[in-house]
């Protein structure tokens, strides 16, 4: 549909109505349309003008797809000037989300109304940007510095009531935005309301504000390490209370342009579109409908099953959590309650929310209670026979329409489908731990999974707030298959001479949320150990890849849960510390394998770990396991703590230059191991031909 901006008049109230699906972004035609309608409204007998949107939301920001292209007049700044200099008062009426440039535009209106369900926010930081249309200068004038720092550096939106308390909106109303806007505009007219510009509110920082900014700088440097936009946001907020308004706007403009030119923003904007592309299944007919899903069964009340149950209960599904023994069920429910208690104590959830989530959850040992479920997710121990047994039982008990999903990390979905009479309604739904927090969901397509089943899994995933990525069948799917190569290089760096702390710190400084060995400790070293027990020697690969991990487990060091693994952990704070005993175990393991130690640079560690991911990612893409390279990047950023500001392993390889990647891999082939570093044919081909991963769509 072509974007349109219309204008109508009723009872001396003008209404400018923006209609530009899907999210009323401030594209060139919307900006021109607003200017044109303002001109009309300035010449008639209206006394006040409402600005609102048709469709599902108020303006969700500048049009991100225009970024990086030559700017087209009128700019957003021109539109905002026109709103401020418009002779009559303007009321912004907000429903859905007023985000980024959308909220900045509303801040240039004289009054703001929001319906109860609306949200307002400045999420530019998520794109490596800052509000570039006056947001950093106007917001603190309304909310004070503290709220402005929180909102702009986190990007989190406020709901309508909180926005009213913060001073951002004047009125919160019921759900009919058109009617509420007319009513409030009438009220303003009767009260003789005039122009009221946010820019005119004085703002002068004192010593407390300066201290607040300094402390935010420190906290954010730790929390958002390596990221440039949050620090620039604080520079702009500092300007808001220390220089005149116009000068502050100019400062913000320059900082916005610096962000825009920063490779971090390019990577984050790439991630934005990558996450949305991932939701689309390439070869599926566009009219494939997701089945209606309301009743969920979860099998297994362990850590994963419990976390998955929380996701669904929080999203309003009716959840039945089943475990085979009452003790396991009680333990699982106990952990769920404890998680909710912590969220309540930290003020993230209200007690009403917690009670409502818990009331959506039923726990039972009776499998018959699963009758009538629309979707069942199995989350039992990683053992194929056990899982097949569960699937057989579920197939017998459940209604024919029920979709059976497995949360397996490795097992074949086809082998599970094969024991049922509904292979087309069997699918993988691979959650990441902790399941109620991590955003990624790998939806795994078995050979027989039909389109409706896939569509249902993807759409249910979205309803519980996950970012879904489709994976084809292979051992470990997209994420864990690549992880084997990343983990192997981390282990080899230690065997060849680095300490676990050097490897972890190098990767963390590069931007990984947590280094690979610390992640191993968090996940539990016994998990890999048990998985290896099920493999043949050939499948396990050379001993040097895993012998150290085995030795740690054999010494009772299972990771954080036993208080020690690659590190030892402080019982109270869980802080990690290097442990001389581990150095001894490493020495002994190196000696056992006859390895001569050498010095390893941080650069080598980063290259080995990141290029091992890109090389295996290229194979996954070539084999058609991933639909697109950007899906692989989403998997790594949302499931494995890869820095989003580096775009993901495939994007980072592209930015480095595929020929440079190939050269480095060939060097590793010669100096490290020809087997580990066999070059992915697709990578070689693209580098040779000057192509790009984004040319490949499966
Ligand atoms: C900014 O404003 C800068 C200014 O400060 C200064 C300027 C000078 N532009 O997410 P969904 C598309 S920066 C273009 O699946 P939902 C999206 O790609 C901007 N397109 O829906 C998708 O397209 P497709 C600050 C956009 O209901 C479709 O809309 N604003 C934009 O789950 C549906 O999106 C933001 O960062 C956009 N701004 O969530 C807000 N937004 O169907 C970013 C969305 O082809 N947007 N699209 O794949 C969001 O957070 C969510 O989209 C929103 C809706 C919450 C609005």
Q: Identify the DSSP state of 201.
A: S
Note whether residue 482 is domain-resident.
no
The CATH code of the domain that includes 502 is 1.10.1040.10
* Ligand 1 touching residue 589 (CB < 6 A): no
- Ligand 1 atom with the smallest distance to the CA of 22 is 29
Predicted local distance difference test score (pLDDT) of residue 1: 62
Report the CATH number at residue 674: 1.10.1040.50
Does the pLDDT of residue 349 top 80, yes or no? yes
Which positions ≥6 away from 651 have C-beta within 8 Å? 267, 270, 629, 630, 633
For residue 455, pLDDT beyond 70: yes
Give the mutation target among 20, 21, 22, 98 for probing the ligand 1 site: most ligand atoms within 8 A of CB.
Answer: 22
Average pLDDT of the chain, as a whole number: 96
> What pLDDT shows up at residue 188?
97
Residue 583 belongs to some domain of the structure: yes
Does ligand 1 come within 6 angstroms of the Cβ of 25? yes
Using pLDDT thresholds of 50, 70 and 90, give the confidence band for residue 571. confident
Confidence of residue 513 (pLDDT cuts 50, 70, 90): very high
Question: What span, in angstroms and rounded, lies between the C-alpha atoms of 632 and 694?
Answer: 11
Active site residue 101: yes
Catalytic residue chosen out of the listed positions 61, 101, 300, 306: 101
518 plus 637 within the same structural domain: no
pTM of the model: 0.94
Q: Residue 261 in 3-state DSSP?
A: helix
Do 332 and 395 belong together in one domain?
yes
423 and 524 both lie in a single domain = no
> Is residue 585 domain-resident?
yes
Atom of ligand 1 nearest to the CA of 102: 2
In a domain, 337, yes or no: yes
Give 570's pLDDT tier (boundaries 50, 70, 90): very high
| 124 in active site | yes
Task: State how far the Cα of 112 lies from the Cα of 107, in Å rounded to an integer.
Answer: 8
Find all residues with CB under 8 Å of 65, minimum gap 6, and list them.
none
Say if residue 246 is in the same domain as residue 318.
no
Q: Is the confidence at residue 145, as pLDDT, over 90? A: yes
Q: What residues make up the domain containing 570?
A: 498-593
- Ligand 1 centroid to residue 172 C-alpha, Å: 24
CATH number of the structural domain spanning residue 416:
3.40.50.720
Q: Which residue of the set 62, 240, 405, 612 is catalytic? A: 62
Note whether residue 287 is domain-resident: no
Quick one: which atom of ligand 1 is closest to the CA of 279?
A: 48
CA distances from 692 to 283, 407, 466, 512, 514 (A): 22, 33, 28, 24, 29
Task: Indicate whether 117 belongs to any domain.
Answer: yes
Count structural domains, the chain: 4
Q: How far is the CA of 633 from the centre of ligand 1 (A)?
A: 19
At residue 666, what are phi and psi to the nearest 5 degrees? -65, -35
């Amino acid at each position: 549909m072509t974007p349109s901006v219309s204008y109508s008049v009723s009872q001396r109230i003008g209404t400018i109505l923006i209609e530009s699906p899907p999210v009323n972004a401030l594209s060139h035609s919307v900006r021109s349309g607003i200017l044109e309608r303002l001109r009309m409204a300035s010449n008639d007998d209206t006394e006040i003008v409402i600005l609102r949107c048709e469709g599902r939301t108020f303006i969700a920001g500048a049009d991100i797809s225009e970024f990086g292209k030559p700017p087209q007049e009128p700019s957003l700044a021109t539109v905002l000037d026109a709103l401020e200099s418009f002779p009559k008062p303007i009321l912004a009426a907000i429903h859905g989300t007023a985000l980024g440039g959308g909220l900045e535009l509303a801040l240039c209106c004289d009054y703001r109304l929001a319906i109860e369900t609306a949200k307002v926010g400045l999420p530019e930081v998520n794109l490596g940007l800052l509000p570039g249309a006056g947001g950093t200068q106007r917001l603190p004038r309304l909310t004070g510095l503290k709220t402005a720092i929180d909102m702009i550096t986190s990007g989190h939106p406020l709901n309508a009531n909180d926005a009213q308390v913060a001073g951002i909106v004047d009125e919160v109303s019921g759900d009919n935005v058109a009617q509420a806007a007319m009513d409030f505009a009438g009220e303003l007219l009767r009260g003789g309301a005039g122009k009221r510009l946010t820019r005119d509110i004085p703002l002068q920082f004192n010593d407390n504000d300066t201290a607040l900014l300094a402390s935010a700088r420190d906290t954010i440097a730790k929390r958002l390490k390596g990221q440039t936009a949050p620090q620039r946001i604080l520079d702009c907020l500092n300007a808001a209370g220390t220089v005149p308004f116009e000068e502050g706007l100019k400062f913000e403009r320059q900082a916005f342009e610096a962000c825009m030119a920063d490779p971090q923003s390019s990577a984050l904007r790439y991630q934005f579109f990558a996450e949305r592309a991932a939701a689309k299944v390439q070869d599926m007919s566009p009219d494939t409908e997701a089945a209606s899903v309301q009743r969920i069964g979860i099998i297994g009340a362990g850590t994963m099953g419990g976390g998955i149950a929380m996701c669904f209960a929080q999203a309003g599904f009716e959840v039945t959590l089943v475990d085979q023994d009452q003790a396991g069920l009680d333990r699982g429910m106990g952990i769920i309650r404890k998680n909710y208690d912590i969220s309540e104590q930290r003020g993230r959830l209200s007690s009403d929310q917690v009670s409502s989530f818990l009331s959506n959850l039923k726990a039972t040992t009776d499998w018959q209670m699963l009758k009538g479920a629309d979707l069942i997710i199995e989350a039992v121990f990683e053992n194929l026979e056990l899982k097949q047994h569960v699937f057989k039982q579920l197939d017998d008990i459940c209604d024919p329409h029920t979709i059976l999903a497995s949360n397996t990390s490795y097992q074949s979905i086809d082998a599970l489908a094969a024991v049922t009479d509904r292979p087309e309604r069997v699918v993988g739904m691979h959650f990441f731990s902790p399941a109620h927090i991590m955003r990624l969901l790998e939806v795994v397509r078995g050979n027989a999974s039909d389109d409706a089943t896939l569509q249902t899994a993807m759409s249910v995933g979205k309803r519980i707030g996950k970012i879904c990525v489709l994976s084809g069948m292979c051992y470990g799917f997209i994420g864990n298959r690549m992880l084997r190569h990343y983990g192997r290089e981390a282990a080899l760096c230690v065997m060849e001479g680095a300490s676990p702390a050097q490897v972890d710190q190098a990767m963390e400084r590069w931007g990984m949320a947590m280094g690979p060995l610390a992640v191993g400790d968090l996940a539990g070293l016994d998990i890999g150990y048990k998985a290896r027990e099920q493999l043949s020697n050939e499948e396990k690969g050379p001993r040097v890849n895993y012998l150290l991990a085995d030795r740690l487990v054999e010494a009772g060091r299972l990771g954080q849960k036993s208080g020690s693994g690659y590190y030892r952990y402080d019982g109270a704070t869980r802080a990690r510390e290097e442990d001389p005993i581990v150095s001894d175990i490493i020495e002994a393991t190196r000696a056992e394998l006859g390895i001569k130690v050498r010095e390893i640079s941080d650069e080598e560690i980063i290259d080995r770990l990141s290029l091992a991911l890109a090389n295996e990612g290229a194979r996954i893409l070539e084999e058609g396991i991933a639909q697109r390279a950007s899906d692989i990047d989403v998997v790594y950023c949302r499931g494995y703590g890869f820095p989003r500001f580096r775009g993901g392993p495939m994007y980072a390889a592209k930015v480095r230059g595929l020929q440079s990647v190939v050269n480095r891999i060939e060097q590793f082939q010669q100096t490290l191991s020809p087997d580990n570093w066999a070059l992915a044919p697709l990578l070689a081909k693209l580098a040779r031909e000057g192509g790009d991963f984004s040319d490949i769509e499966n």
